[in-house]
Amino acid sequence: MAFNGHQCDDDIVDETPSKLPRCNQEMPGHFKNEPQNEATAADGRATCERRTSNSTPRHRKDSVKKTRPPFPWFGMDIGGTLVKLVYFEPKDITAEEEQEEVENLKSIRRYLTSNTAYGTTGIRDVHLELQDLTLCGRKGNLHFIRFPTHDLPVFLQMVRNKHFSSLHTTLCATGGGAYKFESDFRTMADLQLHKLDELDCLIRGVLYIDSVMSGGPVDSECYYFENPTDPDHCVQRPYPLENPYPLLLVNIGSGVSILAVYSKNNYKRVTGTSLGGGTFLGLCCLLTGCSTFEEALEIASQGESTRVDKLVRDIYGGDYESFGNMMCKEKRESVSKEDLARATLVTITNNIGSITRMCALNENIERVVFVGNFLRVNTLSMKLLAYAMDYWSKGQLKALFLRHEGYFGAVGALLELLHPSESSTNFS
């Protein structure tokens, strides 16, 4: 199963679902050869999960060592609002490897792991870091980095300055931006993009992260809100995502996609809406003068809660008009920007909840998992969604959430680098 001349292990069954169409465009370019800089792993079997066995034969270890891709290992998801990047930092580098490493590789690793912020907008989400992970026989940490899509030119200049293209000529990427900015990667950073199906990567990333978090030393990946209809007793609880199928996966980014997942190899896109996080931020910028998602959420959190609670109850009573009070001149003059931001958040969130509930009924699914960067630091929307699912279903439908929120597409892209699927293999 060759991928730019590299593979991890032909005996590994690829876990990427295959029911959705996948981009089969041939990847231009190859990884450039460099001195072998990887040690024989304690566990030679090239799996992407934690292992404890040490019984793999030596010849199998050597085979894995020769066929996995060279460092650095990245996966990227270029969305309409945010770029998400996952980076695997090897922690089992031997003294011999360190001597053989080229300076460019060391520079990239030092830069990414010694900082938690990059420039004015790049952030490494340290609280999401996965430590002591085993990927393709190497032990290390998985880092999660994000920055606004409008700052992509700054990122590409950094990539060029650190001579990334001397180590790789191709980067695995998903999301609409992988198509929109493909020429920028080529001209500004001398990199080709191996464009991957967005939904394939999303499903693959969700299943992988949940698998490595299950039974680990930290809380489970999945959680829910207990007593969502009782604000005084609403608390967050871990939820073991065992035997999860079928489930409805709702990805809320700039827009919204809703998937019905019946097994890891059987899923479909049910529907979606353009009214998502991008709509919320855009309207808040117009209505309040804010400029960032975090600022919009902060303003919304200061909105008058009793008024918002009344709006939520009105929805469930059946008679409701978003921003209906703004038809009255007196109320327009008395409303605050905090109330406007809060009303915008409630409107967008409840629209998503309503569509999700209808999809769950049509697909006869009682488990809903919400993901996406719209939910990052957005407890208000999560509790609204939990309330809505519980109320409309009379307690039968549970809203579930995942800690790594918007990074699953980037994780799926990284897994494609390490375990390429059938339709992405045999590149010349």
Ordered by where they begin, the domains of the chain are 69-206+410-418 (3.30.420.510), 222-303+337-402 (3.30.420.40)
Q: How many CB atoms lie within 10 A of CB 166?
A: 14
Record the pTM.
Answer: 0.79
Residues 6+ apart with CB under 8 A from 105: 37, 71, 72, 167
pLDDT score of 47: 41
Over residues 165-182, the pLDDT tens digits come to 999 899 999 999 999 999
425 to 3, 67, 194, 264, 300: CA distances (angstroms): 5, 14, 11, 20, 47
pLDDT score of 90: 95
Tokens 């020769």 sit on residue: 66
Whether residue 53 has pLDDT greater than 70: no
pLDDT score of 9: 42
Q: Cα angle vertex 139, ends 138, 145, to 5°?
A: 105
Average pLDDT over residues 353-376: 94
> In the chain, count of helices (H) and strands (E)?
14, 15
Give yes or no for a contact between 250 and 370, defined as CB atoms under 8 angstroms apart.
yes
Q: Cα angle vertex 42, ends 40, 46, to 5°?
A: 80
Q: Cα angle vertex 74, ends 157, 101, to 5°?
A: 85
246 to 17, 28, 262, 285: CA distances (angstroms): 15, 38, 4, 38
Whether residue 425 has pLDDT greater than 80: no
Whether residue 148 has pLDDT greater than 90: yes
Catalytic choice (198, 221, 363, 405): 198
198 is catalytic: yes
Give yes or no for a contact between 254 and 260, defined as CB atoms under 8 angstroms apart.
no
Whether residue 326 has pLDDT greater than 50: yes
Give yes or no for a contact between 71 and 37, defined as CB atoms under 8 angstroms apart.
yes
Selection from 387, 408, 407 nearest residue 397 by Cα: 387
Tokens 């009793």 sit on residue: 306
How many residues does this entry show for the chain?
Answer: 428
Whether residue 192 has pLDDT greater than 70: yes
Least confident of 22-31, 201-210, 401-410: 22-31
